[in-house]
Structures are given as structure tokens and as C-alpha cells.
Amino acid sequence: MPKSSEPRSYLVLENYIGGKFVSCGNHIDSYDPSTGEVYCKVPDSGKEEVDAAVAAAKEAFPHWSARSPQQRGDVLNKLADLIEANMEDLVQAESKDQGKTVTFARTVDIPRSAYNFRFFASSVLHHTTDCSQMDHMGCLNYTIRCPVGVAGLISPWNLPLYLLTWKIAPAIATGNTVVAKPSEMTSVTAWMMCKLLEEAGVPPGVVNVVFGTGQRAGDALVGHPDVPLISFTGSTATAQRITERSAPYCKKISLELGGKNPAIIFADADLEQCVETTIRSSFSNQGEICLCTSRIYVERSIYSEFLEKFVAAARKWKTGAPSDPSNNNGALISKEHLEKVRSFVALAKSEGAVIHCGEGVNHLDLPKVNKSGYFMPPTVISGIPDSSRVMQEEIFGPVTCVCPFDTEDEAVARGNGVRYGLSATVWSRDVGRVHRLAQRLQAGLVWTNCWLVRDLNLPFGGMKHSGVGREGGKDSYHFFTEVKSITIKH
């Protein structure tokens, strides 16, 4: 008998609405990317489930928003404790569901998920509002901030629990209630987190999680008249649809979108550190991070040396079974995504580029169980013009392109020559130069001589097609609250 006739062998998820798990009539298959096999059934929710979740969130809002920031913070800290207490289960689940290595989930995803709750539990206590005197008018002006209401949160598949908690934590810390929709491809850790909410002291209806596709569940959430705020992380194309659906309701929207991030490497860079870090920034999490480097511009005098060392390092970046601690990368998220990423490499080749290592060059020796998984080795490309789609579009896989440049002005112009503007990295020992480039590059985040060093107090977000708005300590506080100006005449 085919496996599909044995539903009991699958993990079956349920929506979490009003503090209870609620089964759904229809389900979507979710695959283990490292084996290519279905292992989980995710609810295929639609308007009915979203309406129920929004109603539960609306009902919970008055009581939750009336609590003090300290009381809400205590609940967030308890939830962080529970995530840490269940660390290894969450790590294993995130790796199996997403394809990333167990090591990456253990060192990055799940610790950061717990820290998101701790950070916002604390940061929400330290914001102050404005006050101004108008003595000549006998008036005092001041501002207050109030939670917005029901927040609609839509998170992506690349850092599932990490980016879901990055939204839930500030939303509920500031007194909102939420309806969250994780990616249908990576829903398991969100479902596991729901099991911890009651024990953490989260009242029913404060956090609701509805699983399903963007076309059905996401669309119902974004177009719901009682959801005044949407925070979305994902593709620019989906964000355009969200903006259109939100427009009739004048919703507050925060959009964290794609990137085509440049690294600009000058001849005076510390080459050893630069190569090591740029390998990480290009290939970490299979290149499935919006902040990954996908265009590397190298000053011509060191171009050949850099390329040789970079390709040698890329060949050592191991890809294979996510459970093997010696592997740096696991599997890509899906068969369709793997095919998309491969198509960019094929396009580069057809345009006359050189594929130095990776796709079509290096054979992956995978364990038998992983033969049908969605694996791709780190791929380095050179000899490709900036006008190519390979240099213009977000690939979101373990692929990076290396090009020489001659002048600082040229490097800046080429770095800015895409529709995205999320992040950039600059490698140089010249203090004046790094400040100049940081100012001139069109990117929401610029790292110099490092990558992915994050202070959560600071704004996170992109320019141009990389997004709208910022999130972070103060920015999330502002986004998840409405400000009122109040004038008292005495």
C-alpha cells in the first residue's frame, strides 16, 4: 500500500486558537528536505480558521493590554525559560523541518528564539515618552503609546522559530494580541511553542497560530478588517500583494523582504579573516538568509589571490546530512527551490560564466537515506556581468558571484546597482573609506570587517525593494504601538 494511505505515521499539526488546539479538515504535506519524503501534515487553514483566531485575539486584548509591561515581561521570560528547557527537542525539529544542520539550529535558531522573548521582556520596560511645556499658553503637552490591537504576523521558512518569535515577542510585550501564520513548509516548531504557552502563563487568545498557505490563510489574515497591523518577512512579490490587500484598511505594515547583498573587498583588507567570514556570509544556512552575501566585488590587485583562496575555502565547506556535526550545510527547503537555485547556475553557465566549484562541478557523497534530499554544494561563479539575472535577482541558495573592480566609486555604483538594499559588507583597514562607503551604500545594514553582528536595540530592515519600516528595540516598540499627543491646559 502507498504510504499516503497511512496518515497515522505522520506528525499531524493543529491550529492553536483561543488557548486550545483545534483540528483542521484539510492538510498540506510537509517534507523532510534531507530525505525528500513527506513526514508531517500541516493544517490548510482558510477564512473560517482565521476568523476564529482573530475573534479570540480581539476578546483577549482588553485584559492583556491592561497588564503592566512588567507583568507581560514576566510571561515572556517564563516562555524563554521553557524554550530553553525544551532546547534539544526544538533543535532536532527545526533541523528536520527546514533542512538546516542540527548545529546551526542549536547555536543560532533556538537560542535566539528564547533571547527574542528575553530581550523584549526587558526592552519594553525602558522606553520613555515625550513631554513639552508651553508656559506662555498655560499648556503642557505629552505623548502616550498604546497597543494597536490584533497583530497579524507572517513569518518565513528560512529561520522559522527565530523569525516568528522576533515578531511575537515585541507584539505581545507591548500589549497587543496576535494571530501568527508561519510558513506552511516549516510549521513544526511554532506548533511546539504553542504547547508551552499555557505553562508560561500566556492567557488564551493572546497568541493564536493558524497554519496554512499564503494564498488562503495569509490572504484571509491580511484582508481581515479587525487586524490593524501586519508584520511580514518574506518575498518582495508577496509583500506587494500584502500591500494591496492592506491598503483599503489603512493598516500599519512592516515588510522585511529580500536582499542581493554586496561584499566590497579592498586590497588593504585582512584577507584571511575576510575569506573566512565571506564564506560564512555567502553559505551559512545553505545561503537561505536574507542577509547572505551574493555579490562579491574585489579590488583588482587582489582579485586572483582572493578568488583562489575563496574557492579553496568553499570546497571545504561541507554539505550533507543535517544531523552530522561535521557538516556546515544541510538541505535546501524544497525540491522546487533547489531547482530554482540550480536554474540560476545553469543560466550563468549559458552566459559564459565560470563555475569554480559546487553545482555541476563537485559531486556530493550523501548517505543512502539522504540521496533524494535537496542538497547543493557551495557554488562560486565568476565572469558574469552585473546586468545578468544571476547578479540582479535574489537566488537564496549557496551561490555567490565574484567580480573585480578598480575604483571606490565603481564599487559603490555596482554595489547599489540592484533593486534591493538590505545589507552590505565592506572589508578595509582604512577608517575614512569604511565610513564613506557606509554612508554611500544603499543598505539598511552595513557591516565592516564582520558579518551578522546584531545588537537587537538597533533598527533592522531594508531600503528600496528590501522592505518598508524597521524593527528592533525602539523601532518595534514604535511599530507595535500607536502614539497619542495630549495637551492639557491648566
- So where are the chain's domains? 11-258+466-489, 261-448
Cβ atoms within 10 Å of 66's Cβ, excluding its own:
10
Nearest to 94 by CA among 179, 157, 16: 157
Torsion of CA 31, 35, 37, 39, to 10 degrees: -60
Asked if 255 and 174 touch (Cβ cutoff 8 Å), the reply is no
Helices and strands of the chain, counted as H and E runs:
16, 23
State whether residue 142 is helix, strand or coil: strand
Nearest to 376 by CA among 314, 324, 332: 332
Question: Per-residue pLDDT for 260 more than 50?
Answer: yes
Q: Which fold has domain 261-448?
A: Aldehyde Dehydrogenase; Chain A, domain 2 (3.40.309)
Residue 9 has what pLDDT?
A: 84
**pLDDT digits 0-9 by tens, 168-186:** 999 999 999 999 999 999 9
* pLDDT above 90 as % of the chain: 98
Question: Per-residue pLDDT for 8 more than 70?
Answer: no
* Residue 372 grid coordinates: 533524494
Look over the chain and give the mean of its residue pLDDT values, rounded to a whole number. Answer: 97
Domain at 11-258+466-489, CATH homologous superfamily: Aldehyde Dehydrogenase; Chain A, domain 1 (3.40.605.10)
Residue 5 has what pLDDT?
A: 47
Question: Per-residue pLDDT for 2 more than 60?
Answer: no
Asked if 226 and 466 touch (Cβ cutoff 8 Å), the reply is no
Give CB contacts under 8 A, 24+ apart, made by 458-465: 460/256, 461/254, 461/256, 461/422, 462/256, 462/257, 462/259, 462/420, 462/421, 462/422, 462/423, 463/421, 463/422, 464/419, 464/420, 464/421, 465/236, 465/257, 465/258, 465/419, 465/420, 465/421
Q: Catalytic pick from 256, 288, 299, 394?
A: 256
Asked if 167 and 231 touch (Cβ cutoff 8 Å), the reply is yes
**pLDDT digits 0-9 by tens, 87-145:** 999 999 999 999 999 999 999 999 999 999 999 999 999 999 999 999 999 999 999 99
Burial pattern 353-387, b for ≥16 Cβ within 10 A else e, equals bebbbbbeebeeebeeebeebbbbbbbbbbebeee
Burial pattern 287-300, b for ≥16 Cβ within 10 A else e, equals bbbbbbbbbbbbbe
Residue 460 has what pLDDT?
A: 97
What is each CA distance from 297 to 2, 303, 410, in whole angstroms?
51, 9, 10
DSSP-assigned letter for residue 460: B
| Segments in 174-284 forming alpha helices (H) | 188-200, 219-222, 236-246, 271-283
**pLDDT digits 0-9 by tens, 182-206:** 999 999 999 999 999 999 999 999 9
Told to judge if 305 belongs to the known catalytic residues of this protein, a careful annotator would answer no
- Find the range with the poorest average confidence among 2-11, 47-56, 213-222, 250-259: 2-11
Mean per-residue pLDDT, 306-327: 98
Mean per-residue pLDDT, 306-316: 98
